[in-house]
Structure 1
Amino acid sequence: MDYWGEIVGQPEAVGTLQRASEPGAATAHAWLITGPPGSGRSNLAYRFAGALIARDAEERGAVWDLVNARTHPDLGVLTTQKLLIDIKAAREIVTTAHYAPAEGRYRVIVIEDADRMPERTSNVLLKALEEPPERTVWVLCAPSEADLLPTIRSRTRSVRLVTPSPAEIAGLLHERDGVDPVAAERAARLAQSHIGMARRLATDADAMARRERTITTALGIQTLGDAMRAAAALAKVAEADAAALSEQLDQQERDDALRSLGLQPGAAIPPQMRGQLRALEEDQKRRAKRSLRDGIDRILTDLLSLYRDVLLTSLGAEAELVNREESRRITELAERWKPRQALEVVTAVETARARLGRGITPGLVLEAMFSRLVVASEAGA
């Protein structure tokens, strides 16, 4: 697979960044990569960073290994496990922007989730973009240009991504990860073209089982009691999913941190190094909280696909179902509901996602959503 081969469904974006990163090419000092969740924003940003840092095409593979591990000396990363990027972290990364590249052509600073910067934090970045160092390139990632201040947008060159097709993602899973074509197609379809989630579903049997449980639980709701039990059950599904993901990442990060300190995994921690590990543990705790909220949102996204399937079926639309494996039960539900009831349930899920984004307790969000589902279902009976 070539250097850009893992970026699927984005030929125009790849072409633009490939040309901008060629040795001798004039490149903008700041870029903004936007696109829907799962479209590969961060992966493309880091691929671009590696290409900018490498002195020539022959170096790209070795540079990418370090960039992918976030250990290259010419790479800076600003991200957060919190809901917002705080101003202190922004000030620290802005300071490093003035460092000259240690090994490569450029120093590159990637800001993941740039939409998580409140105005005060954005203003810190704005000053850096107004007076850019000669050999530093900023790469910001966000869902859309509207998520950033107009003054930030005006100082960046924009690259917009599109949602890759399930077939393109299935092809990547087969070629890169060796996933059986049938399993790859199913994972890409159920993930609704979210690249990261498709890989999890294709390679982690537990993740696929949790998604199946989500759909089965939702299809079994008929009464208000069912709704409350479903809310509690799916909250536990999200907790299990978040715990599994966090456990895997936490151990890898701890082992990497120990190696960077010159220690082997399992070795006693010298007192002078314990502060660094405590800071890592605090970051991991914050990530666990965010992972739980992200897990609830993933459940809501899966439910949204289910109820949209019901709505399309009730309308008699000629469209492929996301949850094709449950077509019989989807048809039965569509026959019980009128299109208006199905639309009301779809709206309830979208409302739940908005409430979750405002920080409302996930359990209450699920209970309110499923209660509304029962009311809509009874109205259509």
Structure 2
Amino acid sequence: MTVWDALVGQDSVVSTLTAAARAAALVTTQGPLAAARAGMTHSWLFTGPAGSGLAVAARAFAAALLCENSPPGCGQCPGCHTVLSDTAADLRTVRPEGLSIGVRDVRALIRDAASAPSAGRWRILLIDDADRFTDSAANALLKALEEPAERAVFLLCAPSVDDVLPTIRSRCRSVALRLPSVDDVTAALVREGVDEGLARMVAQASQGHVGQARRLAADPQARARREAVLRLPSRLNRVGDCLAAAADLVDAANADAQAANADRDEAETEALKTALGVGATSAGTRSTSARGGARAGAKPKSIQVRGAAGALKELERTQKSRGRRTVLDSLDRALVDLAGLYRDVLAHQLRAGVAPVHPDHAEAIERLAATATPEQTLRRWEAVLATRQTLADNPGLVPQLTTESLALALRDA
């Protein structure tokens, strides 16, 4: 297997990145100028819809840049292996732990970029969700892109070029990914050992989102949560039913976040306490008698490390922000499933003849189609999409109120 095998349905992107990695290899024999003339550049912007594999493509390219063999990207050498496992000395990865990427993270990244590679040919800085930069962070990054270090390579991932400042995207070479087809995702899952029938169902349900397809195939609880979301339209009879359905949706998102982050939060907190010495004791703090001996029964005192409370409070804020981000991401996945259902209902009403997103819910789709007009279905579909956009644009909103408003809108459309 090569590093490119993880990319599903992205043949043109693989060709572009392979050619660039070959050009980048010239830096060893002919210098950075020769590599630049052959098509290598210091700044790359990977764009595409969620699930298309932005981070996978960026990491595969990073592995190819540090590959020790030819053609680059063998997937077997230490350079490829350490990048794919995120242990490479010359790779730094920045992921937003919360709702945004702050200037402190970017300044640390710039300091890394100024360092010479320690093992490979390049110093690589990979930034997930580059659309989440704060203004000050984006301005700090712009300075580094304008005057890049000789051996530094920035790999930015964002949903679209419009989500990145014009001054940043103008200094990057753009690589556009697309959502893979259902056949591509199905074939990839079958190669991974998933039953073909299940693979095709989850490939359709995920609407080309490779990560979500893998999650549905591997996790029965994820499939159960999807079933609960798709039953929501049949529950919206009275106002109380709408509020209860919205509460269930938010509770499921909170449960997702708790399951995803609980172990990690606990491990981070314990690691920080250990590093700071919080809870440790010192025998030197015991009271002593006049003859120099320790007083009988005296207990050691806990060591108080200066700044420990502030560090723990900062970690708590980071974890809380990350938890909220996870809740919003889980809600977004639920809304994508719901939008797909109304899309199927509208297609059935208009006899559009297109492949359904949720073929395993054909009876529910027929029932919803028979009890509403196409105009009502379209309004409901638009309400779901508008709610997704509202939550994306205003992450500070209370999810409970937003989903309650959606449930009432679906009932009254």
Normalising by structure 2, we get a TM-score of 0.82
CA distance in 1, matches of 2:266, 2:200: 31
Residue in 2 that maps onto 1:319: 354
Deviation at 1:3, TM superposition (A): 2.3
Residue in 1 that maps onto 2:43: 30
Residue in 1 that maps onto 2:112: 96
| 1:238 pairs with one of 239, 249, 253 | 253
Distance 1:106 1:162, change over 3 A: same
CA distance in 1, matches of 2:66, 2:229: 43
Residue in 2 that maps onto 1:112: 128
Deviation at 1:189, TM superposition (A): 1.1
Deviation at 1:240, TM superposition (A): 1.7
C-alpha contact (below 8 Å) 2:41/2:173 kept by paired residues? yes
Deviation at 1:248, TM superposition (A): 6.0
Larger Rg: 2
Distance 1:223 1:269, change over 3 A: farther
Deviation at 1:252, TM superposition (A): 8.0
Runs of 4+ that moved beyond 6 A: 251-255, 268-272, 274-277
What per-residue deviation string (whole Å, max 9, x for no partner) do you get for residues 170-222 of structure 1?
2112213x211111111111111111111110001111111111112333322
Structure 2 counterpart of 1:339, one-letter code? P
Residue in 2 that maps onto 1:8: 8
Between the two proteins, the alignment pairs up a number of residues equal to 368
C-alpha contact (below 8 Å) 2:66/2:80 kept by paired residues? no
Deviation at 1:355, TM superposition (A): 1.8
Secondary structure at 2:178 match in 1: coil
What per-residue deviation string (whole Å, max 9, x for no partner) do you get for residues 239-260 of structure 1?
12222222465578789x79xx
**112-121 or 342-351: which moved more?**
112-121
CA distance in 1, matches of 2:85, 2:263: 16
Normalising by structure 1, we get a TM-score of 0.89
CA distance in 1, matches of 2:238, 2:186: 38
Distance 1:250 1:220, change over 3 A: same
CA distance in 2, matches of 1:269, 1:70: 36
Structure 2 counterpart of 1:132, one-letter code? P
2:86 is equivalent to residue 49 of structure 1: no
Distance 1:269 1:192, change over 3 A: farther
Residue in 2 that maps onto 1:345: 380
Structure 1 counterpart of 2:409, one-letter code? R
2:138 is equivalent to residue 122 of structure 1: yes
Deviation at 1:225, TM superposition (A): 2.1
The percent of aligned pairs where both chains have the same amino acid is 40
CA distance in 1, matches of 2:329, 2:388: 10
C-alpha contact (below 8 Å) 1:7/1:43 kept by paired residues? yes
Residue in 2 that maps onto 1:375: 412
What per-residue deviation string (whole Å, max 9, x for no partner) do you get for residues 270-326 of structure 1?
988x89995766544432221011111111111111111111111121111111111
Distance 1:248 1:331, change over 3 A: farther
**101-110 or 119-128: which moved more?**
119-128
C-alpha contact (below 8 Å) 1:221/1:227 kept by paired residues? yes
2:262 is equivalent to residue 227 of structure 1: no
Structure 2 counterpart of 1:53, one-letter code? L
Distance 1:372 1:59, change over 3 A: closer
Structure 1 counterpart of 2:6, one-letter code? E
CA distance in 1, matches of 2:230, 2:197: 20
Deviation at 1:348, TM superposition (A): 0.7
Distance 1:112 1:95, change over 3 A: same
Deviation at 1:97, TM superposition (A): 0.4
2:400 is equivalent to residue 363 of structure 1: yes
Structure 1 counterpart of 2:125, one-letter code? I
CA distance in 1, matches of 2:281, 2:351: 64
| 2:181 pairs with one of 165, 171, 180 | 165
Residue in 2 that maps onto 1:307: 342
Secondary structure at 2:231 match in 1: helix
Distance 1:88 1:345, change over 3 A: same
**69-78 or 344-353: which moved more?**
69-78
2:232 is equivalent to residue 217 of structure 1: yes
CA distance in 1, matches of 2:316, 2:81: 25
2:112 is equivalent to residue 73 of structure 1: no
Unaligned runs of 5+ residues in structure 1 are: 262-267, 377-381
Distance 1:61 1:283, change over 3 A: farther
Structure 1 counterpart of 2:13, one-letter code? A
CA distance in 2, matches of 1:109, 1:269: 41
Structure 2 counterpart of 1:52, one-letter code? L
